Amino acid sequence: MVDQQNFELAEVASGDVSVVPAVEELAKDLGLTLGEPEQLTIRRVKRGKRWRYLRADGSPVKRQSTISRLNSLAVPPAYEHVRYAADPHSHLQAVGRDAAVAA
């Protein structure tokens, strides 16, 4: 069993202690790249009844496959300051703040 908070030694059901691989190794095995919140460069902006996605330079995301990926992440509409990963293989895909909690 993996301690998902600390990635430390974890005791499996049989009582054996096993070494959990490093986070970097796990990410590599899963085909993911590690990212930081600062690397989430696509912003979500409300335009009418729809969302518009903007790159760090302010240009709109136009590629439909990227827009579909961002929509599929299903970040709730009430979330504010939502940012997405430009890299579809990043282990961190989106962050945002729940407006209801922030109030």
| Euclidean distance between CA atoms 90 and 28, whole angstroms | 11
Q: pLDDT above 70 covers what percent of the chain?
A: 78
Over residues 64-84, mean pLDDT: 95
Mean pLDDT, range 12-21, rounded to an integer: 50
Within a 10 A sphere around the Cβ of 43, how many other Cβ atoms? Answer: 16
| pTM to 2 decimal places | 0.73
